[in-house]
A and B are shown apart, each in its own frame.
Chain A
Amino acid sequence: DTGVSQDPRHKITKRGQNVTFRCDPISEHNRLYWYRQTLGQGPEFLTYFQNEAQLEKSRLLSDRFSAERPKGSFSTLEIQRTEQGDSAMYLCASSFGGARYEQYFGPGTRLTVT
């Protein structure tokens, strides 16, 4: 068990470009979450998958954001036409289902939009 991994760890892009991030959860976990965190704040929920089904999306997830989890394994988060306000740390977490199971977080992808 290597934990939750995210790629890339850092991404610098110019405004208007598209970016895609990948998350590989702990293999036995059926739940996968994406969060966004800005400096000095706690993570904000973006979206949630149970297996391959996307069951919840935050209103923070504008039309420029899309997430997928094909086959219930890894997940991708794409941001189209990036804006400077998208600069943040994007965190992925996974867990088993149920109230007694912890969420395990990856190291995050730091996005800087110039």
Chain B
Amino acid sequence: GENVEQHPSTLSVQEGDSAVIKCTYSDSASNYFPWYKQELGKGPQLIIDIRSNVGEKKDQRIAVTLNKTAKHFSLHITETQPEDSAVYFCAATINDYKLSFGAGTTVTVRA
């Protein structure tokens, strides 16, 4: 099955700085790569996703990039704010619904 590795496991950034989380996947057939944000005590929530036919996607302060050749994808958060503090999960799938998740990154934004 698909194996997704996520780095770093924890990330502390100064408010206003950028944060980058990287994930690698093993199955070259994977074609859908979502990112989820989980706030304390809540379930994960989709924040952005990308398909294999696209190299980059942006949504305000959040962007995702995909390198199919290297089999890795990254989440970029610019101008970080305290409300960006959360656990972020990347995932990959070959069939759009059976997601394989990374282990998660705990992001802390320091005021």
A binds B: no
Residues of B within 8 A of A (CB): none
Residues of A within 8 A of B (CB): none
